[in-house]
Amino acid sequence: MTTPRIAIAGAGLGGLTCARVLQLHGFENVTVFERESSPEARQQGGTIDLHADSGQEAVRAAGLFDEWRALARFEGQEQRKVDPLTAELIEHEPPEGDFRPEIDRGQLRELLLDSLAPGTVSWGLGVGSARPGEVTFLDDSTAQFDLVIGADGAWSRVRGAVSPAVPHHTGVLFVETRHDNDGQMLALTGQGTMVADGDGLMLWVQRNSGNHIRAYACMRAREDWRPSNAELLELYADWHPSLQAFLTGELIHRPLYALPVPHTWEHTPGVTLLGDAAHLMPPLGVGANLAMQDAADLALALARDGVRDGVPAYESVMLPRAIDAQERTNAGLQDMVPERPIRV
């Protein structure tokens, strides 16, 4: 029996989860098209907390729960808040339970990649555009499928097949820095996340595996502002030196974008979206969880109802869930980095 030909654009956490769950349910004709040339082409992002009611459920659907659990950092659930001027601890949540343990994004992606049938991912073949049942690749070749799934992230090329929406700048800039084996920083950060905020500025620090730290300076800023280390330190001039230390080293500027709320579309046979392609939202600990939950839900709906009926069944669950999460994270971003004062 031939199984449906399914194209998935993007080998992120969403696309890979979808491919894995489909393969577990007997779909043999699944290809993931990834623009990057290899799994090592780009260093993957920081740490991801997988929630018991979404990301963890997706890992379970992918048959990888025990493997994930073996890598998960339960101690990473610790949350610390410090005073920006003194660096003294003012709030502390010790790590408890197993609702949201952390794992490095690279480890999770590798787990998913290793679980796929050999040759599932076509590396270095980016999607240029899509129509229902058809993909045009960046090399101008075209191929037909029974279903095209856009899991190609914020700047999805598949999205145009169902919706004219494009992401807008949220008015917030994250500036990322990375630090290894720094005893003072590790002590201040604890086992999980440490935050400090004041006067419209925030510092958000996360411990990754292997004594690696990623820190994010968060502020309101113009879309095109790329502060230098000196300009950043000037903004945080009143802050305690041990916190200013996180603003040193190479800076990676991440202006934050989001899709309009609500972002929805008329069901279009032959094509659908999941993850950031469907509902890019501020990074408040939800996006990767939702991408994986979407992916598992879509694959399970296809296995249960077939391609024709499975996609609308998935969309009827995914779209309202995404709108709710978009509303919550947009409101959360306003609280986290208040509208005023605009810094630059």
DSSP string, 121-181: EEET--EEEEETTEEEETTS-EEE-SEEEE---TT-SSGGGT-----EEEEEEEEEEEEES
Q: Would you say 34 or 146 has its CB closer to ligand FAD?
A: 34
Contact yes or no for 31/7 (Cβ under 8 A): yes
Least distance (Å) between residue 18 CB and ligand FAD:
9
Nearer to ligand FAD, 122 or 240 (CB): 122
Measured distance CA(16)–CA(292) in Å, rounded: 9
- Tell me whether strands 147-150 and 6-9 are parallel, antiparallel or unpaired: parallel
We find the least distance from the C-beta atom of residue 230 to ligand FAD, in angstroms, to be 23
Shortest separation between residue 81's beta carbon and ligand FAD, angstroms? 17
What is the smallest separation between the CB atom of 239 and ligand FAD, expressed in angstroms?
A: 21
What is the per-residue burial (b if ≥16 Cβ within 10 Å, else e) of 147-164? bbbbbbbbebbbbebbbe
Q: What Cα–Cα distance (Å) separates residue 172 from each residue in 153, 207, 216, 279, 337?
A: 19, 23, 12, 18, 7
**Looking at residue 77, what DSSP letter applies?**
G
In the bound state with ligand FAD, the residue whose beta carbon lies nearer, of 243 and 273, is 273
Nearest approach, Cβ of residue 10 and ligand FAD (Å): 3
Nearest to ligand FAD of 217, 277 (CB atom)? 277
* CA distances for 295 relative to 12, 22, 32, 91, 302, angstroms: 11, 9, 13, 36, 11
Helix axes 13-24, 287-336, angle to 10 degrees: 150
Q: What are phi and psi of 149, to 5 degrees?
A: -110, 120
Least distance (Å) from ligand FAD to the CB of residue 52? 13
Orientation angle between helical segments 13-24 and 105-115, nearest 10 degrees: 30
Asked if residues 243 and 197 have their Cβ atoms less than 8 Å apart, the reply is no
Closest distance to ligand FAD from the beta carbon of 94 (Å) = 19
User: 86 or 155: whose CB is closer to ligand FAD?
Assistant: 155
Shorter beta-carbon distance to ligand FAD: residue 35 or 220: 35
For the CB of residue 86, give the shortest distance to ligand FAD in the complex, in Å.
27
Q: Residues, the chain, total? A: 344
6 or 9: CB nearest ligand FAD: 9
Complex with ligand FAD: residue 74 or 83, whichever CB lies closer: 74
Cβ distance to ligand FAD smaller for residue 83 or 323 = 323
Least spacing, CB of residue 47 vs ligand FAD, in Å: 6
Tokens 């935050």 locate to: 195
Write the CA distances from 201 to 56, 114, 220, 319, 334, integer angstroms: 32, 40, 8, 33, 12
Which residue shows structure tokens 């279009």?
Answer: 268
Chain residues that interact with ligand FAD, rule: CB under 6 A: 9-15, 33-36, 45, 48-49, 126-127, 151-153, 157, 174, 254, 275-277, 283, 285-289, 291
